[in-house]
Structure 1
Amino acid sequence: MNRTHPSLQRQLWQQTWPMALGVFSLLGFQLVDSAFIARLGTAPLAAQSFTFPMAFLIIGVQVGIGIAIAALISRALGAGEEARARRLGSLVLVGGSLLIAALCIALWLWQMPIFRQLGADDSLLPLIRRYWGPQLLAAWVGAVLYFGYSLFRAHGDTRLPGKLMVLTSLINLALDPLLIFGLGDWSGLGLPGAAWATALAFTLGLGVLAWRLRQTDWLATVGLIDEARTSTRPFMGIAGPAMISQLMPPLAAMLATAIVADLGETAVAAWGLASRLETVSLMVVLALTMSLPPWLGRCYGGGDWQQIRRLMTLATKVVVIWQLGLGVVLALLAPWVASLLAGNPDVRVELAMLICGLLPSYALLGVCMLVVSASNALGWPLRAMVMSCVRLFVCYLPCLWLGAQWGGVLGIAIGAAVGNALAGALAWGLYSRSLGNAGKVEANTVCISK
């Protein structure tokens, strides 16, 4: 059995800890957002929860583009094509920003039929509308900021993105209570104040990122048209399946919200808080999906499959041990965590049930997420897309629906946990098979060269 070299563990730690800290702060302020909003009442919290699937849709597109940025640029750098990497950086920053802007405009124009389809009643629609405009602005600025982060990660710099995530999170936390609840005689903006706080924080972070980019030579202004003609096809070969993979979770979130909406407003509010807690608890997994693919991409560009195996084995061990330990602790503390996050007693009870059922299962969900992210970096985007599809529509949603039919909120928690466990096991099996096939190709290549 191969043992992981200590230097590899140290390198993975150095690459991942800034992103883990940044992801924790970024997702932590989103959880605090929801906790502040919960103090406004169940209706504002439910209104925010109905926007989550649409927000995940935007994030899915931006992450798909970010995956392509990191994969193509890291491969170009691994192959010694620095000039091409600069051209790619410029193209994706401009094109990605325009694409997200078009998506945000479309979601604003079609918001009412979308939210009605998700199950929002007429009493919540005016509240959602006031929140959705500034939230879309915040989403666009955040997407542009994310593309900048992807560029830095592709060049092996995870420290600046991590620091900026912490900075924007702290700014958001400072602005949240002021803009939501007001100060002195000013009563604040209520629910829209949370979105405006995020938009202002991301704008300040984008300013710092733009200033730092001007000090690098990672962008180009010439040869972009020719590069676009050359790279559009390989870019879409990665970004297309990656975006489809990333768009599946928002679609699944919409369907899951519709399932939960049948159980009532308190169930939707509890589900929204559980979704926020899910992303925070997965901070290490999310950090690894950001820091590991550029490293894997450089290994892939250099043909170093042995290093790829070592990296993935180490990362998987970290994910399983961390998520299982954290999940068990949070499950034991579920009543206290629910009391901290929710103001309504009914929401607290249902949130505690969701925490107990869901959190331990994120160990195997994390394995699935890691495999999907790595597959995009290793030239298997279609397999990544298949794994995402199977996770959500074969494992997660059917189990969620069956759980809802069987036992309400408790059934949903158990059903989602079973779906996560099935998804993790299937994803690891598919990855192991793909890696075995890659190893056979590598061995044949070595024999031929000899």
Structure 2
Amino acid sequence: MAIGVLALLGFQLIDSVFIARLGTAPLAAQSFTFPLSFLIIGVQVGLGIAIAALISRALGAGDAPRARRLSGLVPALGILVIALLALGLWAGQEPIFRRLGAAPEVLPRIRAYWGPQLIAAWLGAALYFGYSLFRAHGDTRLPGTLMVVTSLTNLVLDPLLIFGVGGWSGLGLPGAAWATVLSFLTGLVVLGTRLLRTAWLTVEGLAGEARRSLRDLLGIAGPAMVGQLMPPLAAMLAVAVVARLGEAQVAAWGLASRLETVSLMAVLAMTMSLPPWLGRCYGAGDWPQVHRLMRLALRVAVAWQLALGLCLALAAPWLAGVLAGTGEVRADLAVLLRWLPPSYAALGVCMLVVSAGNALGWPLRSMLLSAARLFVCYLPCLAAGAWLGGLPGLAAGAASGNLLAGLGAWALLRRTLASPRRNAIDESSKNIA
């Protein structure tokens, strides 16, 4: 999964690197779409969490027929939800992007890119739900392999569709989105073919399963989606703060956001692969194994992210020169890279605790922790830093917010795991109420 996540996030960064060669304006136009893209991803991840948690719990409890019914029910619902969300974001795009601070002359560039990007987001969500099915059944090899395949496909198509080939001048900024569409379609064909060969799906008894599982589904997916929707909301507010500093700063922030997801690939891989394992332990009542898994995951996250973050901070000028297209954007990106990557060790702790809570029956606590990370720690520190010190202050404030969130998550995990079964039962009662 780490290799797959690196490939998947890497091609998103590659998109930005190619677009940066078109100039600051196209890169800034793409950066304005990031918060809304994160919004779609937040909904799909929340539904994916429910898919993996419910199916893995059913398998851990030995209820294979219910696992097959859930495997057919939840992904179909998720695909419909993402389609409706994409239509709504297309219809309301102009007032949304104006609210984010996009200038009138940037809106036509955004509009040309946003349509194919929404199609890509819908196809990517369908692919992600398929990945969740395989992960819930203990197969991480196929999702990881397909992430690499789609990444390589995008890498080949990006320069062809953006810059053209031969006498064709290419599509420019929209070409990056169409490359993603074709890449995800390739992955869906392969995944669908493999899924049809399994015995994981059934269409029998879906109506009864929907009535039976609706409360469990909402109890997990509801708080998880709210928790996943808060980061894009925070990202929108962060972009609005950065937009007051200038267009070059927005472009640098967009590149730093892409690099953030790539540098967190080990943590993201654990947030994908750990919950199904924890869910089986939850279904079997094996809490000692839960303790062992969480200790190991947190140690790996802190050690890896600290080492990687320090390396990225030291290499900030060189890395900014590779990624950014203009001198002003390079200078601003170097400032961000000196502050942000080392703080991702604390951010990784928070991400793992949130992910574990959704699998172990504490979805409300996970949602509240996500809210505290973003709106109590991250955004206030970021805004205060930007007000006091411009872009360097903004970077220092964001790093401080990540550190505070990590410390708070660690304290919450220690307190919750002191009596895990009672906490899970108490929270289930709250969900029912």
TM norm structure 2: 0.97
In the alignment, the residues of structure 1 paired with residue 185 and residue 325 of structure 2 have an alpha-carbon distance, to the nearest angstrom, of 31
SS at match of 2:139: coil
In the alignment of these two chains, the number of paired residues is 424
User: For the structure 1 residues 79 and 171, does the alpha-carbon distance in structure 2 shift closer, same or farther, using more than 3 Å as the test?
Assistant: same
Residue 303 of structure 1 is matched in structure 2 by: 285
Q: 2:150·2:183 contact (CA, 8 Å) conserved in 1? A: yes
User: Contact between 2:372 and 2:405, CA under 8 Å: does it hold in 1?
Assistant: yes
Distance 1:318 1:342 in 2: 31
Aligned to 2:240: 258
1:441 & 1:162 partners in 2: Cα distance? 34
Q: Secondary structure at the match of 2:170?
A: coil
Letter in 1 for 2:226: I
- Code of the residue aligned with 1:65 in structure 2: it is L
Q: How does 1:170-181 map to 2 (within 5 A)?
A: 170-181=152-163
Q: For the Cα contact (< 8 Å) 2:130–2:191, is it kept in 1?
A: yes
For residue 309 of structure 2, what is the amino acid of its counterpart? Answer: G
CA RMSD of superposed structures (Å): 0.9
CA distance in 2, matches of 1:440, 1:59: 32
Partner secondary structure for residue 189 of structure 1: coil
Alpha-carbon distance change, 68 to 441 in structure 1, aligned in 2, over 3 angstroms: closer
Q: Which runs of 4+ in 1 moved over 3 A?
A: 439-442
Aligned to 2:431: none
Who is 2:429 aligned against? none
The 2-side partners of 1:402 and 1:140 are apart by 36
Change over 3 Å in CA distance of 1:168–1:229 after alignment to 2: same
Q: 1:92: how far off?
A: 1.0
- The residue that corresponds to 1:381 in the other structure is 363
Give aligned-pair identity as a percent: 70
Match of 2:104? Answer: 122
| Structure 2 SS opposite 1:292 | helix
Instruction: Tell which deviates more after alignment, 86-95 or 416-425.
Output: 86-95
The answer to whether structure 1 residue 430 and structure 2 residue 412 are counterparts is yes
In structure 2, runs of 5+ residues without a counterpart are 425-433
Equivalent of residue 334 in structure 1, options 316, 319, 336: 316
Q: For residues 441 and 269 of structure 1, what CA distance do their matches in structure 2 show? A: 44
Which amino acid letter does the alignment assign opposite residue 258 of structure 2? R
The match for 2:16 among 31, 34, 42 is 34
Q: How does 1:33-432 map onto structure 2 within 5 Å?
A: 33-432=15-414
Question: After superposition, what is the alpha-carbon deviation per residue over 1:284-311, rounded to whole angstroms, capped at 9, x for unaligned?
Answer: 0000000000000000110000000000
Deviation at 1:440, TM superposition (A): 7.4
Instruction: Write the distance in 2 (CA, Å) between the matches of 1:127 and 1:439.
Output: 52
Once the two structures are TM-superposed, the CA of residue 437 in structure 1 deviates from its matched residue by: 2.1
Structure 2 distance, partners of 1:21, 1:40, is 29
CA distance in 2, matches of 1:26, 1:420: 24
SS in 1 for 2:419: helix
TM-score (norm 1): 0.94
Alpha-carbon offset, residue 439 of structure 1: 6.8
Counterparts in 2 of 1:441 and 1:64: CA distance versus 1, 3 Å: closer
Structure 1 309/48 Cα, relative in aligned 2: closer, same or farther at 3 Å? same
